[in-house]
Structure 1
Amino acid sequence: MHTFDRIAVSFESREVFVDGELQRISMRALDILELLIEADGGLVTKDQIMRAVWPTTFVVDNNIQVHISALRKLLGGKDGWIKTDPGRGYRLARPRPESVSDTTAPSALASYRTKPLTNAMLVGRDRAVEEILEMVEADPIVTIVGAGGIGKTSVAREVARQYATGLGAQVCVVDLSTEARGATVAQAIAETLGLHRRQDESGLASRLNELSGRYAVLVLDGCDHVIAEAAAVCEALCAEQANVRLIVTAREPLRIAGERVYRLQPLSLPGPEAGEDEILASPAVQLFLRQCGNLGAIACADHASLLCLSSLCRQLDGLPLAIELAAQWAAAIGVDDLLAALDTLILALSNRLRSVPARHETLRASIDWSYGLLTEFERVVLRRLAIMDGAFDLKSACEVISCEEFDATMILGGIVNLVSKSLVVADKGDGASRYYRLTKVTRTFAKEKLDATDEFAWLRHRLEACSFDDRGTHEASMDRPASGVRHPFQYRRQSRMRIARRQIVRRADLSVV
């Protein structure tokens, strides 16, 4: 154990204490502190730090400065234990008693009108938070991308909280999803910062630097309907080289220089054959059970109910919002009955919590938020993809849903856009191949849109005209494999296509009666 006045550091447990209270600090900051302590007052150069802390990654001096700032805050401030040898590196040296700064002095950013960031106690997101933190440490802007209700906001706030803790950085959270469409992103940021006069992007960068004095973390949450303007603001802030880390949440990337994109995945699910221990260890199931427990309900009283819960979470594709809403309903009607009625209820599952964003009140509202931001062509592609039951490849999709007006090349571009906007899921297949699918929530919504058109008859004839081999591709375009052995995934896919055809034919026949 190493002590510095009120600070105690244990490298065995990788923990730092101030006045006996555990402090959050990044692992890389701890690595740098260990180098400084081992040097016993000697100089530790920047090259030494880079080789020891980032042995396989190229980083710039700014990465070191971020962690040094965190250590300075803990060890007495700018006149404390850490001394800088300009242009060379850093060393530890006991400060003069009269020069030790008051690390508890209020920051100039205390006037920021931001929501307090508390420990979110996220379920199944430790790895995601850790990976995004590494991106934030290395790059000025990170965009967390994912489908509506996947938990982008919660993860972004937790990343910002952990990054800011111990760094001396302040956090400003700007909820752009609630801004009127007439307001600008720059105005929304200025309002959140308490700046009443209009600020352009460069003015905001200067203001953030002026107020923070060290580093600030700016979270732009829900950028979907202002994505182009948010991209311009972020690009301008980065160009100003402000001491600002930008964490953005959206359903698609900003697509600007310097952006790092993290695509947030659904919660891990138990497999169909999973035993009780595996089911209970699944983050999706844990979230469901925690939500039920918060409502004072017992979700699974026996093994059969646990199996139903496992199936329910799989049908909800591990989507956190869907799981939380389902848990609220299951607390009232039970898991078994909810699972039995899921096909009918899935879009109507409503949020029973007060003060939730409008786009999270129901699963329908969540998908409708994304749907409303699509172009008319993208809407056509999405609703037609509802005909594909289960996984599909690009060639199959283009073969089925293309037409004279929208040829295969256009359809391909539309699918790519829908993947980028988190409405179509891209899964890895065998080798370098990829397969695509709609989640149950998205497909149910898209089928409703398809029902409201006159395209079913056309799609029926299109499907009847298409013939697919074991790989789900048009049999005229590729030779059949020499081996008659089918990959299980290919077999399931062909079966789903046949089922989809029968459903369309049956439905079309009924519509004639």
Structure 2
Amino acid sequence: MIKIGRVVVSLEMREVYREDRLLHVGSRAFDILELLIRAAGRTVTKDEIFQHVWPNSVVEENNIHVQLSALRKIFGADRQVIRTFSGRGYRLTIPVEAAEPVDPCGAAAAPHASPVRPSGLPVCHTPLIGRGEAVADVTRALKRTPIVTLLGSGGIGKTQLGIAVARSIAAASEWEVCFITLASVNSAQSVVNTVAEALGVPHASGDVPLQALVDSIRERKLLVLLDNCEHVIESAATICELLVQASADLRILATSREPLRTRDEKFCWVAPLETPGEGASPQAILACSSVRMFLAQMNALNSSVESDRSSLEMVATICRRLDGVPLALELAASRAAVFGIRKLLAELDDRFQCLTGGRRTAPPRQRTLEAALDWSYQLLSATERVVLHRLSMFPARFSLEAACAVAACGRLTHNDVTEAIVGLASKCFLMTTFDSKTKEYFLLETTREYALRKLYESDEADEVLTRNATCLAPADEQPYGRVFGAPASGGGLAMVAVASR
């Protein structure tokens, strides 16, 4: 990373940041910026720019002026960093600083150091909306503890938030950043090998020993972003604890659908985006982060939504029914861009059939709404699955006592149900409210619809329906919020910002 005033540039990733925000830079403009940086204060002539940027084309000098104008806008108040020398060329007038650590002793003085540069962060072209406070919270947590885990349901935006935090830390410090995804690994040794490869651990063919990982991180200020840990949670936890015990200068930011449960771990719940309350004004609707994300996705697809009250209320309803989950909003925007928001709203009763238009380049679990839930569902125990099916009978909030009344039967005791509820909550299937003296639980609407489908596919649907009607009072006597999903606006969904184990 290279720092020029308030701008940070990654030549390897061809990315430009200002105040931790990724900026859009055209390829021609970046080519010119790269040439100016590599010139190291020397004046770059127009002929050099033509040869570097347009090597096989004949273009007018005005093309250079257009690209330089775009670059100067990126530098903002520091626009004079690019100075024009009439008749000679252009030069960077602010010294270029290294924003990444440089080993003063050289690789030879540190035989344990990695000869391979750590993996960079992936590019996120979609804007990070409604997560500013979360980025600050997680960054502060990483200053106080070696392992921080971002927890949340599928599609909630854990990876994008983790990348934003890592970029913020890398831009403001001399920490190396290594991004490692575990999505495609499925065994303990493959986790070790994947981490070793990303850290640049030199090894011959075959499996990498754990000690090699330890040796590779000594005396390095390193932030590791370990993505998608939930399906190899025990292996990931073992490696994380081993590494942080070996180096005081190591920080690990993990993303998972359940805690690692390691020593000194803190976890941050990634909440759904804010959704508008029923009857909200147009201004209040547009201020909600879920609405802003939905509209941004529509704009990215060259589509738009009318700004009249009726259209905004339909968008607000879509965001509420999709619980403010970013992946669901992205899939919904893709559908609405083709068929319109009115038809999309009508289709949400069968959301798993219509929300299937994910990016072809996305992992399979992110291409449809159902696939995102399938990924998490496969990680549940048999008892947790049964209890989840039975809890889907509750239209909104419910107490532990009510859950046991409906779910504890057959071979499941009250203790079995209680343990299953703990597991479902830790794996982000079950939400918790803290707005009353008694803790209550509820399922997000999409999760509840998914669990209901599983219940109706099972052999016990009639039995659970009967027990639900027998054990619980009529719906109009229940102290619940709205039907189908989270509590009504103001119901007090609690997503703990930073909680220790």
Instruction: Give the TM-score normalised by structure 1.
Output: 0.70
Contact 2:100 2:176 (8 Å CA) reproduced? no
Report how far residue 200 of structure 1 moved: 3.5
* CA spacing shift, 1:288–1:101, aligned 2, 3 Å: closer
* CA spacing shift, 1:106–1:262, aligned 2, 3 Å: closer
Match of 2:41 in 1: none
Match of 2:381 in 1: 375
Aligned-pair identity (%): 34
Match of 2:215 in 1: 206
**Paired residues, number:** 389
Report how far residue 113 of structure 1 moved: 3.7
Contact 2:188 2:232 (8 Å CA) reproduced? no
1:243 paired with 2:246, answer: no
- AA paired with 1:407? T
Q: Distance in 2 between matches of 1:411 and 1:466?
A: 16
Give secondary structure in 1 for the equivalent of 2:183: helix
Report how far residue 105 of structure 1 moved: 8.3
Deviations 1:315-352 (A, max 9, x none): 00110110111011011111111111101134541234
Match of 2:351 in 1: 345
Q: Distance in 2 between matches of 1:368 and 1:250?
A: 15
Q: Distance in 1 between matches of 2:472 and 2:122?
A: 58
Question: Which runs of structure 2 are paired with 1:262-281 in the superposition (5 Å)?
Answer: 262-281=268-287
* CA spacing shift, 1:243–1:182, aligned 2, 3 Å: closer
- AA paired with 2:215? S
Moved more, 101-110 or 266-275: 101-110
Q: Distance in 1 between matches of 2:96 and 2:312?
A: 56
Match of 1:358 in 2: 364
Q: 2:455 aligns with which of 450, 454, 457?
A: 450
Q: Distance in 2 between matches of 1:373 and 1:201?
A: 26
Q: Distance in 1 between matches of 2:327 and 2:451?
A: 19
1:130 paired with 2:136, answer: yes
1:291 paired with 2:297, answer: yes
RMSD: 3.0
Match of 2:317 in 1: 311
Q: 2:146 aligns with which of 140, 143, 151?
A: 140
Contact 1:266 1:317 (8 Å CA) reproduced? yes
1:168 paired with 2:177, answer: no
Report how far residue 392 of structure 1 moved: 1.2
Contact 1:206 1:242 (8 Å CA) reproduced? no
Q: Distance in 2 between matches of 1:126 and 1:195?
A: 35
Match of 2:235 in 1: 229
Contact 2:231 2:379 (8 Å CA) reproduced? yes
Match of 1:300 in 2: 306
* CA spacing shift, 1:282–1:416, aligned 2, 3 Å: same
Moved more, 444-453 or 190-199: 190-199
Q: Distance in 2 between matches of 1:465 and 1:118?
A: 51
Q: Distance in 1 between matches of 2:162 and 2:389?
A: 31
Q: 1:461 aligns with which of 458, 466, 478?
A: 466
- AA paired with 2:452? K
Contact 1:142 1:259 (8 Å CA) reproduced? yes
* CA spacing shift, 1:424–1:116, aligned 2, 3 Å: closer
Report how far residue 467 of structure 1 moved: 4.4
1:490 paired with 2:479, answer: yes
Instruction: Give the TM-score normalised by structure 2.
Output: 0.72
* CA spacing shift, 1:397–1:302, aligned 2, 3 Å: same
Contact 1:144 1:152 (8 Å CA) reproduced? yes
Contact 2:178 2:222 (8 Å CA) reproduced? yes
Q: Distance in 2 between matches of 1:7 and 1:181?
A: 43
Q: Distance in 2 between matches of 1:224 and 1:126?
A: 25
Give secondary structure in 1 for the equivalent of 2:451: helix
* CA spacing shift, 1:345–1:203, aligned 2, 3 Å: same
Contact 2:121 2:177 (8 Å CA) reproduced? no
Give secondary structure in 2 for the equivalent of 1:217: strand
Give the gaps of 5 or more residues in structure 2: 10-15, 21-94, 104-113, 486-501
Q: 2:223 aligns with which of 212, 217, 228?
A: 217
* CA spacing shift, 1:158–1:105, aligned 2, 3 Å: closer
Match of 2:440 in 1: 435
Report how far residue 193 of structure 1 moved: 2.6
Give secondary structure in 2 for the equivalent of 1:165: helix
Contact 2:138 2:268 (8 Å CA) reproduced? yes
- AA paired with 1:155? L
Contact 1:114 1:192 (8 Å CA) reproduced? no
* CA spacing shift, 1:120–1:129, aligned 2, 3 Å: farther
* CA spacing shift, 1:406–1:137, aligned 2, 3 Å: same
Match of 1:84 in 2: none
Contact 1:225 1:373 (8 Å CA) reproduced? yes
Question: Which runs of structure 2 are paired with 1:64-75 in the superposition (5 Å)?
Answer: none
Q: Distance in 2 between matches of 1:146 and 1:385?
A: 19
Deviations 1:161-186 (A, max 9, x none): 11111311111111101224474322
Give secondary structure in 2 for the equivalent of 1:461: helix
- AA paired with 2:468? L
Q: Distance in 1 between matches of 2:100 and 2:151?
A: 37
* CA spacing shift, 1:287–1:105, aligned 2, 3 Å: closer
Q: Distance in 2 between matches of 1:105 and 1:266?
A: 34
Give secondary structure in 2 for the equivalent of 1:444: helix
Question: Which runs of structure 2 are paired with 1:100-119 in the superposition (5 Å)?
Answer: 103=98, 107=102, 111-116=117-122
Give the gaps of 5 or more residues in structure 1: 1-5, 9-15, 26-99, 473-488, 498-513
Give secondary structure in 2 for the equivalent of 1:458: helix
* CA spacing shift, 1:380–1:221, aligned 2, 3 Å: same
Contact 1:347 1:445 (8 Å CA) reproduced? no
Report how far residue 134 of structure 1 moved: 0.2
- AA paired with 2:218? N
Report how far residue 218 of structure 1 moved: 0.4
* CA spacing shift, 1:406–1:159, aligned 2, 3 Å: same
Q: Distance in 2 between matches of 1:225 and 1:231?
A: 11
Q: Distance in 1 between matches of 2:117 and 2:277?
A: 49
Report how far residue 116 of structure 1 moved: 4.6
Report how far residue 102 of structure 1 moved: 7.4
* CA spacing shift, 1:296–1:408, aligned 2, 3 Å: same
1:417 paired with 2:423, answer: yes
* CA spacing shift, 1:376–1:166, aligned 2, 3 Å: same
* CA spacing shift, 1:223–1:344, aligned 2, 3 Å: same
Moved more, 463-472 or 360-369: 463-472
